Chain A
C-alpha cells in the first residue's frame, strides 16, 4: 500500500527556500502569490492492506525520523 508523508516547516518558522522561490516567482511576473512554503514528500510502500495500520506506522516514522518535529509538521496520506 502506497503511503505518502508530506513534511514542511511549521507555520511561523521562517522558510528560507520558500522565500527564495517566492522571490523567483515575483521576478517571473506571477502576481498575487501570498506565500510559498517548500517541503518534502516521502513515498513509502508498506506491506499491509490495513489502511489505519499503515497510516499509524508512517506517523510513527515521521515522529522518530522522517520529520524533525522541533521545526517541522507532517501529514500522512494513504493512496488508494
Chain B
C-alpha cells in the first residue's frame, strides 16, 4: 500500500500522518506542493495544518498549487483521496467535496477529544467500523462549521449515504462542537472515493494518547 501525503507551506500534521500510516504498514511518501508527480499512490492524503496561512479562507489558496491539479485528476479517475481537517477544507475549496466551511459557531478554536458516530460504512474509509458505533477521535479546528449549499444539497448527502460521521457524546446523542449542519463531522463524494473529515484519526493511534480508534479507520484503506 502506497500513501502519498501532500505537504503545503503551513501544513503541520504531515509527519504525524506519515507516522500513523507507517505504523499500520503503509509505504509513505511526502509530496511537496509544487511537485507534479503523485508517485503512483493507492491513497493520497491531504493532512491538517494551515496551508498558505489559511489566508482569504481556509484551504482556498492551496487549491491553486500544482500538486492539487494532479490530486483533482487522480480523484476524477477514481483514485482514493482522504482530507483531514485543513485537508477537508482544501477538498471543499477544490470542489472535490460539496459545501463549505464557516467559522465555528462559538468563534473559538476547539481542541479536544470528541466522540463520533459512524453513520455509514458502505465505503472504503469506514468499512472496518460498524454503523452506529461510537469512536473517540481528537478535533482541533476553528473552521469546522460545515455548511451545505442548500437544504436540498443536505438532503441529497443523506439520501446518497455521503454523510459518514456525526459529532455525538459518549452515549451517541448529538453533541455539536462547532455548529456544523446536522452535526456533520465527515462526508464523502458521490462516487465514494474522496473523503473529508475534521477530526484527526492520525492522533488516535495509541491508547497511551487517549484513543486508538484511528487505527481501524486508517487500516480500512489498506485491507483488500
Contacts and interface: CB of A to CB of B under 8 A. Distances in A.
Contact of B57 (A16, A17, A68): A68
A37 B60 CA distance: 22
A78 interface: no
Contact of B103 (A17, A65, A66): A17
Most chain B CB inside 10 Å of its own CB: which residue of A13, A20, A65: A65
Given A16-B107, A17-B107, A71-B100, A65 B149 contact: no
If over half of A's interface residues share one DSSP class (helix, strand or loop), that class is named, otherwise mixed; here it is mixed
B61 to A, nearest CB: 8
Given A16-B104, A20-B107, A70 B145 contact: no
28 contacts: A13-B102, A14-B102, A14-B105, A14-B179, A16-B102, A16-B103, A16-B105, A16-B106, A16-B107, A16-B179, A17-B103, A17-B107, A20-B107, A65-B56, A65-B60, A65-B64, A66-B56, A68-B60, A68-B93, A68-B100, A70-B92, A70-B99, A70-B100, A70-B147, A70-B149, A71-B100, A71-B102, A71-B147
Interface of B: 56-57, 60, 64, 92-93, 99-100, 102-107, 145, 147, 149, 179
